[in-house]
Amino acid sequence: MPNPAVSLTDKARETGKSLFPLKAVFWGKVFLYIKITRIEAKKMNQVAPFYADHVGSILRTKAIKEAREKFQSGEITTQELREIENEEIKYIVEKQKEVGLKAITDGEFRRAWWHFDFLENLDGVEGYDAAGGIQFSKVQTKSHSVKITGPIDFTTHPFIEDFIFLKEAVGENHVAKQTIPSPAMLHYRGDMEYQPYIDDADKFVADLAAAYQKAIQAFYDAGCRYLQLDDTSWSYLCSDEQREVVRERGFDPDTLQETYKTLINESIKYKPADMVITMHICRGNFRSTWIAEGGYGPVAETLFGKLNIDGFFLEYDNERSGDFSPLKYVARPDLKIVLGLITSKTGDLEDETAIKARIKEASEIVPLNQLCLSPQCGFASTEEGNILSEEEQWNKLRYVVKIAEDVWGK
């Protein structure tokens, strides 16, 4: 039996042969492995989500804020507001390109809210001034919500025209990314006033899924190939406090999880093969505050194993998000996990070594080429925005790109 303790160097001395051929073979295999790994990584990065990506919303510029104030006071028309929005969207499109991002959004510049603006333009849904705002940690949003007043459908929607403008502004060498709320958000946030749905909850879910099927096809026909569903309901189902709120509303949290699984899978059932649909799981993001806390454990098996989503943007910027162990349920080799390790709630840059160490830690559960990096959320889920400067925001996005290039290559 050969002595396993005898080194290659000892073996070379015994035989009088040069060690160089053995070294050449060894390092040749190492370099070939690195080359193959890099090629595989490059292939994976041709399809969204990208190794350096972002959730979508951008701090509203001064021009946007002033234009909205003037519009609200009647000083400018709808058309004049839109023209200002167009120019500011063109500006941030170029800024996103400049920092190195491949996925480009309109920053949600035409919206006041990340979810209500889309939902209240569905047939059968109306926006209204609610009795109170949404309660975050130590702060509350302005009063607004949506209610279901008739049969849900998708016929015409202003977001389609908005996307067409974005795609034209983005051009050929980048990918225009559209964000909309998950269908679960209308179920979770919408006040039900339509009696047929009160009598038949399954009918509501079926009609809502059908409306989203039409919406997805409409975005596709407009040229969208990268669509993101933004969702807070799944993170609320991870929070003990929010699960109790769900019970107080008359729902069982575990049953609701199954309802949302069915709703989302039905909504994306007819997604074209060359369209990527991701989902951002958010714990709440308003003026740098939050709502929910708790790891992904309670929903992980369903979320990562049973939803037919192409990729998940997951918040992992602090201890409220838990550890990476729930990622063990990621079984599909085509499912991408975007690690939200860079916070969008403050302007301070995280320690680069610590971020890379966390990516390495996650790669022990999910293969590295299935992982990506992004900020944990958008920078302005509502028009008010988080508490950091525009320059700090762009520095954060540059940082995401820089770290991603170090980890996965350019």
Interval 188-211 mean pLDDT: 96
Flag whether pLDDT at 25 surpasses 90: no
Q: Which residue, chain included where needed, has tokens 């490059």?
A: 42
Q: Which residues neighbour 353 within 8 Å (Cβ) at sequence distance 6 or greater?
A: none
Identify any residues that bridge with 228 across adjacent strands, giving them in sequence order: 179, 278
Flag whether pLDDT at 222 surpasses 50: yes
Look at strands 178-181 and 145-153 and give their pairing. unpaired
If DSSP codes are grouped into helix, strand and coil, which group holds residue 113? Answer: strand
Condensed to tens digits (0 to 9), the pLDDT of residues 60-90 reads 999 999 999 999 999 999 999 999 999 999 9
CA distance 197 to 190: 12
Kindly indicate the confidence band of residue 30, based on its pLDDT and cuts at 50, 70 and 90.
very low
**% of the chain with per-residue pLDDT over 90:** 71
Query: Rounded to whole angstroms, what are the CA distances from 153 to 119, 207, 213, 303?
Result: 11, 7, 10, 26
- Ranking 45-49, 104-108, 122-126, 380-384 by mean pLDDT, the lowest is 380-384
Look at strands 371-375 and 336-342 and give their pairing. parallel
Query: Rounded to whole angstroms, what are the CA distances from 135 to 280, 292, 385, 397?
Result: 20, 11, 16, 28
Flag whether pLDDT at 31 surpasses 80: no
If DSSP codes are grouped into helix, strand and coil, which group holds residue 238? Answer: coil
Nearest to 229 by CA among 122, 312, 294, 340: 312
Flag whether pLDDT at 271 surpasses 80: yes
What does the pLDDT read at residue 241? Answer: 83
Interval 133-140 mean pLDDT: 64
Interval 105-115 mean pLDDT: 92
pTM: 0.88
Six-digit token pair at 224? 């969208």
Q: Delineate the domains of the chain, giving CATH numbers in brackets.
A: 48-408 (3.20.20.210)
